[in-house]
Amino acid sequence: MPRGPMGHGPGAGRTVEKPADFGKVMGKLMEYCRNYIPVIIIALILGAAGTIFQIIGPDKLKDMTNEIVKGLPAVVNGRPVMNSVDFAAVGRIAWLLVALYVGYAVLSYVQSWMMANVTQRTAQRLRESISVKINKLPLKYFDKVSYGDVLSRITNDVDAIGQTLGQSLGSLITSVTLFVGALVMMFYNNVIMTLCAIGASLIGLVLMMAIMKASQKYFAQQQAALGDVNGHVEEMYAGHLIVKAYNGEVESIRRFEQYNAELYESGWKSQFLSGLMMPLMNFVGNFGYVVVCVVGAALAMDGQIEFGVIVAFMMYIRLFTQPLSQFAQAFQNLQRCAAAAERVFGFLEEPEMAEEPTKAELGVDPAVDGRGGHGASMPVARRAQLLGYDAQGRVQPVRGDVEFNHVQFGYEPDKPIIHDFSASVAAGQKVAIVGPTGAGKTTMVNLLMRFYEISGGSISIDGVNTASVPRWNVHDQFSMVLQDTWVFRGTVRENIAYAKPGVTDEQIVAACRAVGLDHYIQSLPDGYDTVLDDKSTLSAGQKQLLTIARAMVQDAPILILDEATSSVDTRTEELIQKAMDALTVGRTSFVIAHRLSTIRDADMILVMNHGDVIERGTHDELLAAGGFYADLYNSQFTLAG
């Protein structure tokens, strides 16, 4: 899947996406919710029971009407006869009606509360599962899937499940119960009137299906046009400076007007046709009322039914037609829920990185490590070999000796990009990796940190194969300063001490002074407690300084710098370079450099091209050799001149 801009296209009101296998996906969702199934069943039973109370209501209203009619004056043999209303019977029926409708309201409320709780708990668990899953996925997954797509699964898809599952299941059960119950009660009261009511409803259903079929294509056209409009606006906004610089405003406006016209054409047609649905439903209901009144009046005049039957039927007509639209809406929402669940479960079923529960930890004492090591039961000699323990079993700090031994790697199995990489780096050395774009420089660093697993060969730290220790333990040995800075919402102090327990304020201030950032931070409203957000922004250079200070505070034995000074001016670069020199003292440093003037003091320069090391040596040695490095170096100064 190609990467795309986050938020591209419309978010709401789109046509319902259908899952590939509705039954299978819903089965997975029910399996995921298995702990809540008893609650769901109880909630649905309560909803159905409440609907039954609602269905019984009109029949009792019929009885009340008949009791009142019995008390009306009547004419017998041409003489008026006064009858009395049995108010006791009317009162009993009235209280029964109150009980039925109160019961309906209470049961519906309880059902809604239970289903809302279950669905939001399910959504909460899904988000937690996705969060855990993200940390278990290999980086190669994110090479083929955009971050925006993953974000959409966490937000839009999980929200769709949480919002539609409870409502749809409850609505589906109550709609079916209401439809069947109303139909049964109608047949129970009078068959002729029931058949007439069904005939009137069928006319409306035929019209409704015709309108839905006609409007569907316009809704599809509207979504496509809306996507074109949103995509065009997003592209033009992101590239606003380029559009202005190349005088592309006229063409941009012309294309927007074209998309906008298409959206208008499809939009008014779809909205007009969908707007007919409610009047049509009202027409069906009113037409049913007319049929019931006419037929019921004829039957009442003929003495075949009592007047109360007409009153009951007028209510049953509404209860009979109402579920039809509710059922269609509920099934549509379930389709949307299943489509969202399919995407979420597809993500949760992606292959994960292999578990490493039995691997010993590099440079960590398992007996005291808070992460819960697994090497404590090993013999002292074996622990000394793997973890850097001395003969007494005391942990020794990682020195930083790094060995690449015939490393091979490819992002795809049949397309290797690192063919045969070997290099030995002594602890404390500064190693620069240079080469043209696509040579494999960043890839080597990613392999060193075990972001990707190598296809062949080995990478060792202090003589220990990094594949034999947990990934997190490998990551602990590194500090990184990348070309792309990362600052999260939080205080300056929290950003600098990120994920490093026990950092003191003195260490944070010292790191900021070393990179020349302390003066600016002190000028902020709350100093080191200033929250970095959209109101307190840092320039690109200041963000880079902050990430360098973060690396200093981490105090790891191995340092990785990926063109760390690319976002700062020359004067600031000199300041950072001095800070870097201090930072690299006593640490093994890997520097990915594009400006070769910044790595002239490196202990070793590895020159890469097409995945292989083609030259190695110091700056002076490589210049004297007059090879590939010399050509790169001289070309930069030629271009600069």
Q: Quick: pLDDT tens for 418-429.
A: 888 888 888 888
Give the residue with greater pLDDT, 8 vs 462: 462
pLDDT at 23: 77
Mean pLDDT (whole number) for 73-100: 75
Q: What is the DSSP letter of 390?
A: -
3-state secondary structure 177-209: HHHHHHHHHHHHHCHHHHHHHHHHHHHHHHHHH
Q: Two tokens at 574?
A: 């000199």
Sheet (strand 402-409) strand order: 418-425, 402-409, 456-461, 464-465
Poorest-confidence range of 234-248, 399-413, 505-519? 234-248
What 3-state class would DSSP assign to 491? strand
Poorest-confidence range of 74-78, 179-183, 230-234, 275-279? 74-78
Mean pLDDT (whole number) for 392-406: 72
pLDDT at 641: 44
pLDDT at 535: 60
- Categorize the per-residue pLDDT at 106 as very low, low, confident or very high, splitting at 50, 70 and 90: very high
Q: What is the mean pLDDT of the chain?
A: 78
Q: Two tokens at 53?
A: 């109370």
Residue 174's alpha-carbon distances to 52, 169, 179, in angstroms, are 9, 9, 8
Percent of the chain with pLDDT over 90: 2
Per-residue pLDDT reduced to its tens digit, 433-454: 888 877 778 888 888 888 888 8
C-alpha span between 191 and 189 (Å, rounded):
7
Sign of CA dihedral 178, 183, 184, 185: positive
- Categorize the per-residue pLDDT at 388 as very low, low, confident or very high, splitting at 50, 70 and 90: very low
Spatial contact of 375 and 360, defined as CB atoms under 8 Å apart: yes
pLDDT at 102: 92
pLDDT at 302: 80
Sign of CA dihedral 403, 631, 594, 408: negative
Q: Two tokens at 606?
A: 């590895």
Question: Longest C-alpha distance within the chain, in Å?
Answer: 134
C-alpha span between 497 and 554 (Å, rounded):
7
Per-residue pLDDT reduced to its tens digit, 199-211: 877 777 787 777 7
Q: What is the DSSP letter of 351?
A: P
Please give the single-letter amino acid code of residue 214: A
- Categorize the per-residue pLDDT at 7 as very low, low, confident or very high, splitting at 50, 70 and 90: very low
pLDDT at 638: 59
Poorest-confidence range of 14-28, 366-380, 473-487, 594-608? 366-380
C-alpha span between 91 and 410 (Å, rounded):
84
Residue 291's alpha-carbon distances to 283, 286, 317, in angstroms, are 12, 9, 10
Residue 495 pLDDT greater than 70, yes or no: yes
pLDDT at 567: 56
Sign of CA dihedral 468, 471, 477, 478: positive
Q: If 0-12 CB within 10 Å is exposed, 13-18 middle and 19+ buried, where does residue 211 land?
A: middle
3-state secondary structure 550-580: HHHHHCCCEEEEECCCCCCCHHHHHHHHHHH
Length reported for the chain: 641
Q: What is the DSSP letter of 113?
A: H
Q: Look at strands 612-617 and 604-609 and give their pairing.
A: antiparallel
Question: Which homologous superfamily does the CATH classification assign to the domain defined by 402-638?
Answer: P-loop containing nucleotide triphosphate hydrolases (3.40.50.300)
Give the residue with greater pLDDT, 384 vs 469: 469
